[in-house]
Structure 1
Amino acid sequence: MVIAPTREEIDQLFTDAGWHPDRDVSERLGELAEFVIADLAAHGCQVRLFPEAEAFLRSYGFLDVPFSPAAGNTDRFNTCARFCSNKAEQISETMDDTQQPVFPIGWERIENGLVVMDPNNRMYYLHHTGTYYAGTGMHEAFSNLRTVRLQPIEEYLY
């Protein structure tokens, strides 16, 4: 069983990947958002970049974060979900289920699962086996992704 990382351990993993409190990658967000919005729209899924997702990506976007500090670890979470059109239907279903807009904010490399967030900072993990609630906020969601403590969206919502 994988032990849940502490908030400090998660901060250290993100710091080691290049994050810092004043980090701002705003200059790269426009191109990313335009691409994601157009790519998903071409697959029948309408998303928009709302302020909470923009704030997350401005601070944490474009990082490649290992799930643990072990040398050679290939289990990673990438905070840039550029190519996600293969999840267009699942994204639309998540918006329907939650009655909230969502925007892709990351993916994890092992299972190629996509993470989307809503305006309440709730994060959902879209996997080929279904959609799961990962947690609210970066720390809780990353911890739950790392330890695979995910709740099926049906159980979370109903």
Structure 2
Amino acid sequence: MRSPASPEEVDSWLRSHGWHPDLHNRVEADRLIDARVRDSARQDFPMAPWGAMREFVSRYAGLEFPAPLAPERVFVADPTLGYEGDAEDITELSAEVGRKLFPVGYEFGESGIVLMDDLGRFFYLHHTGPYFLGENEAHALSSLMRGDQDEVDDYCV
């Protein structure tokens, strides 16, 4: 994976699509997360959210972020988007990386699920397999902006 975009580049990308640092849509984030919890239980692979994950979704819920060089790829911080059976796939990836995972968004165009682990790292579950987006929110947003991913193998237990 190439080095991340500068904080200024990422900030400009986010702001150009309606984001600002004081944005916290907690009501919408809780609604989306609670729907995902119910859906994962319905799929018999229950997932449980945590504070930092809820905070991430609340900062970006309701906004769409098209990738500058590939505008058909749009990141949306909506954990409810996915596919039937995805809770099992997320549970399997969670076991591979040895950490709790929860969806925090989705990427239209590529139909990939963006996941956060309980260490604050980000992963990308795509139909071609799982990928790593970054060690933290800043790196993950840069990866989503640029379309960068890394092989997940280096992050498995």
Q: TM-score, normalised by structure 1?
A: 0.86
2:105 is matched by which residue type in structure 1?
G
Match of 1:10 in 2: 10
Match of 2:64 in 1: 64
Report how many residues are paired: 155
5 Å matches for 1:2-151? Answer: 5-68=5-68, 73-86=71-84, 87-151=86-150
Q: CA RMSD in A?
A: 2.2
Alignment check: 8 A CA contact 1:17 1:64 kept: yes
Whole-angstrom CA distance in 1 between matches of 2:69 and 2:56: 23
2:75 is matched by which residue type in structure 1?
F
Alignment check: 8 A CA contact 1:132 1:151 kept: yes
2:93 is matched by which residue type in structure 1?
T
Which runs of no fewer than 5 residues in structure 2 stay unpaired?
none
Whole-angstrom CA distance in 1 between matches of 2:18 and 2:148: 26
Q: Deviations over 1:23-44 (max 9, x none)?
A: 1101112221111011111112
Call closer, same or farther: CA 1:57–1:16 in 2, change over 3 Å: same
SS at match of 1:120: coil
Whole-angstrom CA distance in 2 between matches of 1:64 and 1:94: 26
Whole-angstrom CA distance in 1 between matches of 2:72 and 2:20: 22
Whole-angstrom CA distance in 2 between matches of 1:63 and 1:93: 29
SS at match of 2:57: helix
- How far off is 1:4 after superposition? 5.6
